[in-house]
Amino acid sequence: MARGRNRLIAGITAIIALAVFCTYSTFAVLGRGFNFDHQIQLAGQRYGAHGQQTMEQWRNLLQSLQGSGRTEQVRQVNDFVNKHLTYTEDIDAWGVDDYWATPLESLGRGVGDCEDYAIAKYFSLLILGVPVDNLRITYVRARTGSPDNPTFIAHMVLAYYPTVESEPLILDNLVGNVLPASQRPDLYPIFGFNSAGLWVGAAKNSSGSSTAQLSLWRDTLARMHADGFE
Amino acid sequence: MSIYRQLWLAIIGLTALAFAGSFGISVYTARNYIEQQLFMKNVDNASSLAKVLSQLPSKDPVTVGLFISAQFDMGHYQEIILTDPEHKTLFEKHYTGTETGAPAWFVHLIPIRAEAGEALVQDGWKQYGTIRVLSQSRFAYQALWTGVRELATWFMLAGLAAGALGTWLLKLLFRPLTRVVDQARAIQERRFISVDEPATPELRAVVVAMNTMVGRLKGMFAEEASRLDELRRQANHDPLTNLPNRAFFMTWLQEVLQSGEAPASGSLALIRIADLDALNTRLGHLKTDQLIQDIAAGMRELVGRSENRIAARLNGSDFALLAAGDDDAALLAEQIQAELARSVLAKWPDQPEIFHVGTVPYRKTEQAGELLATTDKALAIAENKGPNSSHSLDSTASAGPGLSSDAWRRTLTGALNDGRIRLERYPVLAAGGQALHQEGTARLQLEPDGPWLSAGEFMPMALRLKLSATVDMDALQIALNLLATGDSDIAVNLSADSIVDWSFRDAMIDILRQNPERSRRLWIEVPEYGAFRHFDAFRSFCLQLEPLGCKLGIEHFGQQFGEIAKLAELGLDYLKVDSSYVRDIQQNAGNQEFLKGLCKMARNFGLLVIAEGVQSEAELSTLVELGFDGLTGQAITQRAKG
């Protein structure tokens, strides 16, 4: 009994020590308070070694991109997310018709559909310090198939505006290269959004509120918040 | 603060607290809910509007403005603002009304702050701007305000109901307490009463303690009273027969002959044992004592329960019977002979000659010594008549008014109707010399311009004709009138018959109630004899008068001293000690000790003790030394005049 208790106390001490260490290893340099170690730990717990490994790579990438040019950051993030996610329909990945995953969820499991790609890229760039006004997750109508026999699908991409007035760069998972919008005649924009006005820290009307779960987007923001994204 | 008031305060406090808590929670949740709903509506409407504007093929300012205006005018919005990507305003609409649906202070106190909904508008791939939508909160305020008012109303009603219920419950619970409080109050007013023990254990403990205390006090009083009574007996009574002794009788006789209140005429009888020495020799000491006691028993029978008769043993062989108010001396002689024949002669058939009786009628103006001498003459004549005989002499004085009962009724009623009655006032001073009150005794004028009769001259007739209550009521009215004009307190004597008379009591209480200020300066006294004879009536009389504030006392106190403990529960204010105890008190060591004890004991009850009929300075100074609180009588009247 006494030994069991000692072991228990040792375990608790270790956890506390870990928690203290994690708190201090937060990347304060990244404009937003984002605790990578916590995210990595959660990925390990929830999705196993592979998920943890992907998250570590994600962290390393974002760390290495600190101070790089915006265009470089955009390309690298686009490549990373496209490379580490395998396109999977929501029903197969999450068991529901439509599910918007957080970066932790999609990168941790390594799967996602078009909006999961866009969301992961969106938050990666936010963490790198891109202003929210310069990012829009955009509903687009994408044309696929041959020009003679086109088919249209509902799709979602991330548009990066170098300035708010300028033409955006499109981060897409269908086309590997990051291209200006004018070079993507296959995409027709329908509606764009970002987290402005919704993401006000822990304010009552954003992620913390009970109505947040009623909207897919706000629900995603709420889960980000719950997982430690400040 | 009374318990009921405390309960009400507690209930008000609790209700207010509950209201504040409930108010806080309900307002908080309601406001939260309202803000959430408004925010959702803002977000949804903003994104709908943004989608419509994004799909607008030509985004000229007029078309965009029309779209926004249409949305604003059809809907319920506080404001809709469209800004470009640089956050410069392109178009805006604001609600300009100030109506909020609730009072301004309420809006200020509980502001509803719903976040605006924002959505992005695109023009193809290009950013066009941000639309910001804020809904009207007027209805929300209205709903919140109504809710708060309803809540307040319900809490007020619930608080009132709880208060009423609590008061009722407390009354139920504290019913026993009321009795305890009454007892405590009674003790404070010097009425030592016991109450039934209540069922509540805590209160029972209190009541048991108080009852025990009252019982112990009463016991102490009774013990002290019996000790003092014994002392009084020793000083004033013959040890063998327990009849009053010569000294006591002589004082009494003088009082009866002088006092204004005693009946104006009566008869005196002397009974002498024939040749006591020879009797002693014949029967022996013990048997002679037995015979003397038999005679005393006969004398007591003759006194009976009469207020006006007194019997005494003057010396070894002489007994006296004073019958004030009985003018017919011959009849008295017959009564005595008959009674002694029954109680003495029948028991001692061997003794041929035991007693002789002499009787004489008297008028008040006579001297005690002369009266006794005349009676002795009558006795001497009886002794010459033969064994166990009697003789009555006519008094030297002429007979009284000699009116018939009907004539008395007519003249008395006439005098009372015409108001030929007044109060003769005598000062009563405290031991220190300051005025206590003026004692008023009634004087009546039978005929207009006739002489004023003293109470002793007309009261016996008034009593017999049942007119005493009228006399007392008149006296009371006169006293109240005097109180209105003068500033000294006034004492009024009431006869025992008036105390028993319910209609008199009711009328009297009515009058006193109408004059509460004067009632507090009114002293009401009842003769000892009447108070004890109608003790139950007297007790209820005292309890009725208690709340009216007038002072209550007993006059001519002293005979019924053994029952003084009974007075403990009446809440009396004073005792006037009969003048027979006061006369020559400086020479009577026995009575001095008795009166000293009486004063001490009365002080424990909170009673003032006043001496009646003080005639000399020597009496006065002795009485003050003994502890008397007040004095009245000739010496006092003279002192007050001087």
pLDDT digits (tens, 9 = 90+) for A104-130: 999 999 999 889 999 999 999 988 989
pLDDT at B231 (0 to 100)? 84
Closest CA to B400 of B446, B464, B439: B446
Q: Please report, for residues A186, B302, B490, the alpha-carbon distance to residue B347 in angstroms, rounded to integers and kept in the order given.
A: 157, 18, 54
Judge whether B124 and A188 are in contact, CB under 8 Å: no
Single-letter code of the amino acid located at A71: T
Confidence band, pLDDT 50/70/90 cuts, at residue A25: very low
Single-letter code of the amino acid located at A200: V
**CA distance between the termini of chain B:** 53
Confidence band, pLDDT 50/70/90 cuts, at residue A60: very high
Phi, psi for residue B25 in degrees, rounded to 5: -65, -45
The token duo for B173 is: 């619970």
- Predicted TM-score of the model (pTM): 0.51
Q: Angle between the B201-236 and B138-188 helix axes, to the nearest 10 degrees? A: 20
Task: Share the mean pLDDT of chain B.
Answer: 86
Confidence band, pLDDT 50/70/90 cuts, at residue A22: very low
pLDDT digits (tens, 9 = 90+) for B203-250: 788 888 888 888 888 888 888 888 888 888 888 888 899 899 988 898
- List B574's β-bridge partners, or say none: B553, B608
Q: How deeply is B403 buried, as exposed, middle or buried, from its count of CB atoms within 10 A (0-12, 13-18, 19+)? A: middle
The token duo for A32 is: 């937003």
Judge whether A213 and A222 are in contact, CB under 8 Å: yes
Measured distance CA(B439)–CA(B637) in Å, rounded: 11
Measured distance CA(B404)–CA(A200) in Å, rounded: 120
Query: Maximum CA pair distance of chain B?
Result: 164
Strand stretches in A54-168, DSSP E: 86-87, 111-112, 135-144, 151-160
Measured distance CA(A138)–CA(B384) in Å, rounded: 158
Residue recorded with tokens 């008397």: B628
How far does A84 lie from chain B, in Å, by closest CA? 27
- Tell if the CB–CB gap between B43 and A203 is shorter than 8 Å: no
Closest CA to B251 of B461, B460, B529, B558: B558
A125 contacts chain B (CB < 8 A): no
- Tell if the CB–CB gap between B54 and A192 is shorter than 8 Å: yes
pLDDT at A203 (0 to 100)? 41
Judge whether B607 and B572 are in contact, CB under 8 Å: yes
Measured distance CA(B199)–CA(B176) in Å, rounded: 8
Judge whether B447 and B455 are in contact, CB under 8 Å: no
Measured distance CA(A93)–CA(A87) in Å, rounded: 9
- Tell if the CB–CB gap between B85 and A191 is shorter than 8 Å: no
Judge whether A161 and A135 are in contact, CB under 8 Å: yes
Q: Give chain B positions within 8 Å (CB) of A204.
A: 32, 35
Q: Which H or E run includes B531?
A: helix B528-533
pLDDT digits (tens, 9 = 90+) for B400-435: 445 667 788 888 888 988 889 999 899 999 988 888
pLDDT at A12 (0 to 100)? 56
- Tell if the CB–CB gap between B85 and A167 is shorter than 8 Å: no
Q: Give chain B positions within 8 Å (CB) of A209.
A: 36, 39
Q: Give chain B positions within 8 Å (CB) of A158.
A: none
Q: Give chain B positions within 8 Å (CB) of A214.
A: 40
Confidence band, pLDDT 50/70/90 cuts, at residue B103: confident
Measured distance CA(B487)–CA(B435) in Å, rounded: 11
pLDDT digits (tens, 9 = 90+) for B353-400: 899 999 999 888 788 888 888 888 888 888 878 788 888 887 544 344
Judge whether B498 and B526 are in contact, CB under 8 Å: no
Confidence band, pLDDT 50/70/90 cuts, at residue A201: very low
The token duo for B299 is: 């004398």
**Angle ∠(A44,A48,A52) on CA atoms, nearest 5:** 45
Closest CA to B320 of B312, B309, B329, B331: B312
pLDDT over 80 at A11, yes or no: no
